[in-house]
Amino acid sequence: MRNWKPAVLIVVTFYVAAFLAWKYYSDSFYLSLAPANAGVQRIAYHAASDYDFGPGANGITVLIYYLKPETAAALLASPDAFIAGLEEGNYGRDVHCRAFGEWKKTPVLNRRSDTSKLSFAAYVEPYIDSNILEMDRAYIPQIEEAFSSDENYYAWGRCGVFVLVPKKMQAVYFGPWS
């Protein structure tokens, strides 16, 4: 019975290593949803539903990233040049969901009508209310502001919308189809 301490240490080490591996993989995946040269450095918040597998999936992903300070400064100083750079190399690891189209100034327009504003709150609230998406409601006004302000830049991709918020040094990914 004297040798139980090494066994406990091994078990604890295994679980810590498994957790760190999972954390690295999940963060790596979420970081890969951003355009390759968008300047995101880490994830500030994420919420994802569990109902997003297979045809007709009803999944939703919400991510808030921190932008690198030099990215935010470059975007504020010369938005046209920065956006041109994004359009040249806008592919992440997987072209399917990580390629983004034309970059525009916010407010984010509904991709189906291109004339009406997309209301993040109106879209996401039913998912939260029906427990499909576990999301902290405190982030909704922040994301709604990112979508509706006229100081940010966005582009639709095949699987969602990506919004750069340079004054707050953040970016938002909203993937109703990711």
Per-residue pLDDT tens digits for 72-115:
999 999 998 888 887 655 454 555 566 777 889 999 887 776 67
Could you tell me the pLDDT band of residue 38, with boundaries at 50, 70 and 90? confident
pLDDT of 22 above 70: no
In 3-state terms, what secondary structure has residue 21?
Answer: helix
Tokens, residue 90: 């806008």
- pLDDT at residue number 53: 58
Residue length, the chain?
178
Question: pTM for the whole thing?
Answer: 0.78
- pLDDT at residue number 77: 92
Could you tell me the pLDDT band of residue 14, with boundaries at 50, 70 and 90? confident
* Contact residues for 132 (Cβ-Cβ < 8 A; gap 6+): 49, 50, 51, 58, 60
- pLDDT at residue number 178: 43
